[in-house]
Amino acid sequence: MIAIRADLLDFTATPAWQGTGLDGVRFRPDHWLLVGRDGRILGAQAEDPGPDFERHDHRGRLLLPGFIDTHVHCPQLEVLASYGTGLLDWLDTYTFPSELRYADPDVAADGAARFLDALLAHGTTAAVAFPTVHRVAAEALFAAAAQRGMRLVTGKVLMDRHAPEGLRDDVQGAERDCEALIARWHGQGRNSYAVTVRFAVTSTPAQLAMAGALGRRHAGLYMQTHVAENVDEVRWVAELFPEARSYLDVYHRHGLLHERAVLAHGIWLDAHDRALLRDTGAQIAFCPTSNLFLGSGLFDWQAAIDSGHRVSLASDVGGGTSLSMLRTLAEGYKVQALRGTRLNAWVALHAATRGAAEGLNLAHEIGHLDAGALADVVVWDWASGAVAAQRDAAARGALPGVAAQPLHARVFAWMLLGDERNVAATYVAGRPSHQRATAS
């Protein structure tokens, strides 16, 4: 058993969209988080835990549930920060050539290990991830997650048109591969299978129908795809599916919208689309760094709140520019500011922890520090570097003549100024999985 000493922060309920009050926020400064031998949280207390626990003393640091990245691409680390064009040209120029390499089992295995280790080093302990169209790439990602004990949702990518040779499948072959992967990995340990449609452009109606049938045939499958990211993409989908009312309706017609559906982006949606998301229980994965980098548009979170559909946060690497969810949240704040609203730290952090877990039907397992949850947690420095340290000192009222500010001010500054350099230690099910190297 272990006990981790730090300032504990998580959420017991959804915070208010406006304002910076503490409703739903649980902050327990200088507490011990107690973790049992099974990797589950036993509770938290201010008192010394006693000799039965191995102590991990991180006093003066911040501990949160591990971040949940609800949309990220395993094979795209090598195309991060590629000088750019719009979405469709970017895919052809950078993404597809990179993904072709993952037909090689050794490349797939090395890439999966590097990707998951990078997530852990950035403070992310669970992900909804795209591999490639190759079955071997999905196998490698599932196997690497199982080795690390991580919560992973993934599945072989479906693309039977409008993609290069070597990245296209066919309906029958894709179905066989999916069935084999589901039988091998879905529900095994902490792995779950996602029916993974790249986007409507790259799947024929026959393949989309097969994807919907898979979801109906197997209980508990997820579905992941992209929707309404870019205006040219939306226009192309309308040409390919003239019978559909909208891009989102293409997926609905094929039975792909349900409470385990995660659709990345959702920028160019209308009120009917948002109501459909609400009614089906599907969620949008907001990908601010990607949307800004590719110039795709500004996601309207206020409209999502008004319509009642769920929103989570995602890095979308490699269109996104960092695996750090702190950087993602900081850019999310800026996107919302450009839309005329202010995203508070509580809503942002909730959407990347407990809110994401609830949206994935995984709140029994991850996303918070309740007793019984698995101890997927990350310990953070409140500040990294002299500038951030001075800002944090001001928030604490530690500078002469500076009054202490409310907790939100300190957490917001950490969220805006922090990144992976703030990560001191990452635990997966109570097991140390990443430890920052100590300078020699």
* Same domain, residue pair 116 and 133: yes
Q: What CATH number is given to the structural domain containing 52? A: 2.30.40.10
Q: Domain end: 359, 381, 412, which one?
A: 359
Residue 321 domain flag: yes
The predicted structure's pLDDT at residue 439: 45
Looking at residue 440, its pLDDT comes to 33
Q: Cα 412 to chain center, whole Å?
A: 20
- Residue-range definition of the domain harbouring residue 87: 67-359
Q: What is residue 154's predicted lDDT score, i.e. its pLDDT?
A: 98
Are 103 and 139 in contact by the 8 Å Cβ rule? The answer is no
- How confident is the model over 43-62, as pLDDT tens digits? 999 999 999 999 999 999 99
Q: Does the pLDDT at position 84 exceed 80?
A: no
H/E stretch holding 227:
strand 222-227
Residue with tokens 């992967």: 181
Going by their DSSP bridges, the two strands 67-73 and 41-45 should be labelled as unpaired
Mean of pLDDT values over 299-315: 97
Element (H, E) at 431: strand 431-435
Strands 423-428 and 377-380: antiparallel
Number of compact structural domains in the chain: 2
> Do 55 and 74 share a structural domain?
no
pTM: 0.96
Confirm whether 440 is domain-assigned: no
Tell me, yes or no, whether 307 and 373 share the same domain. Answer: no
Main-chain dihedrals φ then ψ at residue 426, nearest 5 degrees: -125, 135
Q: Are residues 405 and 310 in the same domain?
A: no
E strands in 46-121:
54-65, 67-73
Looking at the structure, do residues 71 and 30 belong to the same domain, yes or no? no
Residue type, position 192, single letter: S
What is the per-residue pLDDT for 97?
Answer: 83
Q: Are residues 106 and 146 in the same domain?
A: yes
Residue 158 domain-assigned (yes or no): yes
59 and 157 part of one domain: no
Where do the DSSP E strands lie in 74-190? 124-130, 151-154, 157-158
Considering only CA atoms, which of 365, 353, 412, 370 is closest in space to residue 14? 353
Average pLDDT over residues 203-220: 97
Instruction: Write the single-letter amino acid at 97.
Output: P
329 found inside a domain? yes
Here the tokens at position 295 are 């110039």
**Are residue 343 and residue 408 in the same domain, yes or no?**
no
For residues 61 and 85, membership in a common domain is answered with no
175 and 245: one domain? Answer: yes
